[in-house]
Structure formats: structure tokens, C-alpha cells
Chain A
Amino acid sequence: MVKISANKNILSKNDEIALRLRKLFEEKKITVFNFVSSPGSGKTSILEKIVSPLKARFNVGVLIGDLQTDNDARRLRKCGADAFQINTGKGCHLDALGIEKALNNFQMDDLDILIIENVGNLVCPSGFDLGEDFKIVVISVTEGDDKPEKYPIMIRVSDVMIINKKDLLPYVNFNVEKCMHYAKNIKHNIQFFETSCVTGDGIDDIMHWISEKAQVKAE
């Protein structure tokens, strides 16, 4: 019997494609944001609020993942977004291959920002790199302030956490400081935003943050 040294890193097939996407986005100077959350946290509602103002300064494309229907893409197109739906069928997450195929919907040379709204799922999307620059996790105040503790893998791979539906705080048992504390325990430099799509609170803040990040790559 002979021992042969290999010392080869194992990238998943998804990671290989994600690497390719990352290089492409770098070359075309496109800043990519991957929004993740449980179903119903408010990803689409947040995007409905920010896409229009972002479009005033940047060329924005949106890709939305759902098992079925193009309801979300239609909602975003009503707000003037160049939004396209990816239906995964049974798939519980978007993957790099799906994103790569969907890029045919855009003139890549003209695109400045690509926003990806992932399938509502706080587990599986954490393991599938889409070539994004930033991952934004959305948690709504109706989900319990210990959500970060229960889903640490997603928190660990996120750059920003948006605490959404803050207009409902008077009616729920949700301690914002506690939630942020749990998240910081897992990702010490995660950034926070608190938003309400009903009152408009915090929407400008997240929009400015996205603009700033997009500006960096554009230069």
C-alpha cells in the first residue's frame, strides 16, 4: 500500500462558480448584495422602499428567489425595478449556478448594483456563496430576540443585520439590545439597522449604506 500526498482544498461546485461570479462582478464593477431572512421578515418590502431612490443614482438589477410564483418580482417591477424571478421548484436556497444563468437578463456592462433577494430560509442560503460583496440578514421583531442565537451560522456569514418591523415593538416581547448582543457574540463587527416599511424609519439609513458601498466599487 502506498500513501500519496494530496493537500488539495475541496471547494464545493457552488464555490467554484461563485468564484467565477466574484471575478466577473469585480471586472464589471458591480456591487452585489445578498438579502437573506426567514420567510416573511420583510425583504421584499424593504427592497420596494429602497430600489427607486437607488435607481436615481445607480443602475440597479434585482434577482429574487422563491420556490414558486413571480409575485415578488412583479411587486418590485411596480416600483420601477429591473427585477427578475428565479423559481427554484423544490430548492430551498439560491445557488451560484442559478445566479449565473439569470445574469443573462441584464446588460452587465451597464449594471452598478445587483440585489439578490434569497429564498426565505435562515439555514441553507448560508452555505451557498453567490459571489456577493455583502450579505444582509433581515430579522423582524415578531421572530423573537434570540433569533441570532438560534441561527448562528447565518449571522456569522452576514455583514449587516436589519431589525425590521420596528413599528410593532410596542406589541411584542422583543428586546432590540438583547438581539444585537446575541448577534455581536457571533459576529463582533456586524452592523445594525432598524427599519419599518410602514413608518419609513431607518429606510434612508440602509439605502445610504448601500449607496456608499456601491460608490466604493464604482471608483
Chain B
Amino acid sequence: MISFIKDGMHEAGIAQNILDIVLDTAEANNAHHVVKVYVKVGSMTAIEPDCLAFAYDALKEETIASGSTLIIDEVAASGVCNDCKNRCDYDGYIMTCSKCGSFNVELLSGEELQVTEIEVE
């Protein structure tokens, strides 16, 4: 099952790295069990939250994070227009300024991929 996931899914590598960060952080703080893991996943990372959670759940077995839940904060894409300076959210991969319609925009959020905090006992 694990090798199937590791071979088959892009999210598996990401999930493994999340688990590594979680275990390192827990160990550094002398924790015995990890209860919750908070991650930020930007919409432009092309990471499927369901696939990520599935992979994480498979990989966490037999670690001190085996009982933990992955809580995914999906961050929307937003940015600023280089032409009219308007800030707005972007829907999907076509990023246009909501004010002037320009495609010359700079992404300010939506590419995050990080473990923000963990809850332990």
C-alpha cells in the first residue's frame, strides 16, 4: 500500500516531507503524541488536499503521529496588478486584474506550502 502510494502520487512525497517536519518538531519538543498538524496549501501548488490527506494518513502509521489529523488551510490565489495597483483574488489559473483586466499581475498568495504548527501531548 505504501509503495503504491509512493510510486503513484505526487502528493505522497509532499506528505512524507510533512511527516518528517512533524516528527522532527515533536522530537525537538519532547512530545509523545501528535494530535493535530496544521498546513497551508496554496491553490496554485496544484496539490489535491484529499490526496494529500490520504497519503499522510497512510504514511503516519507506526509513528508518534499515527493518531494525528492533518488540517489543511487552502490559501486562495491573490495578488496585485502591476498596471493599476489593484489587489484582488484570482480564480483558477487565468489571473486578471478585477479592475482593469490586465494580465500583468504579481502573485502575493496562493503558492504557500508549509507546516505552520502542530498540537502535541
Contacts and interface: CB of A to CB of B under 8 A. Distances in A.
Interface of A: 1-14, 90, 124, 126-127, 152-153, 155-156, 184-186, 188
Contacts of B10: 12, 124, 127
Contacts of A8: 21, 25, 114-115
Interface string B86-121: 000000111110000001110000000111111111
A113 B112 CA distance: 32
Given A1-B120, A5-B117, A156 B17 contact: no
Nearest to A189: B104
B75 to A, nearest CB: 13
Contact of A185 (B18, B22, B103): B103
Interface of B: 7, 10, 13-14, 16-18, 21-22, 25-26, 29, 31, 35, 39, 44, 46, 92-96, 103-105, 113-121
B117 A6 contact: yes
A126 B46 contact: yes
Find the residue from A4, A5, A124, A184 having the highest chain B CB count within 10 A. A4
A153 B21 contact: no
Interface on chain B toward A: helix, strand, loop, or mixed SS? mixed
27 contacts: A1-B120, A4-B26, A4-B29, A4-B31, A5-B116, A5-B117, A6-B21, A6-B25, A6-B114, A7-B116, A8-B114, A9-B114, A10-B113, A10-B114, A10-B115, A14-B13, A124-B10, A152-B94, A153-B46, A155-B93, A156-B44, A185-B96, A185-B103, A186-B93, A186-B94, A188-B103, A188-B105
B92 A152 contact: yes
Contacts of A126: 46
B5 to A, nearest CB: 14
B39 A188 contact: no
B104 A10 contact: no
Contacts of A6: 21-22, 25, 114-118
Contacts of B121: 1-2
A9 B115 CA distance: 6
Given A4-B117, A9-B114, A127-B46, A184 B103 contact: yes
B39 A2 contact: no
B103 A9 contact: no
A124 B9 CA distance: 10
Contacts of B17: 10-13
A174 to B, nearest CB: 21
A187 to B, nearest CB: 9
Find the residue from A3, A124, A155 having the highest chain B CB count within 10 A. A3
Given A2-B121, A188-B103, A10 B39 contact: yes
B119 to A, nearest CB: 5
B120 A4 contact: yes
Contacts of B93: 152-153, 155-156, 186
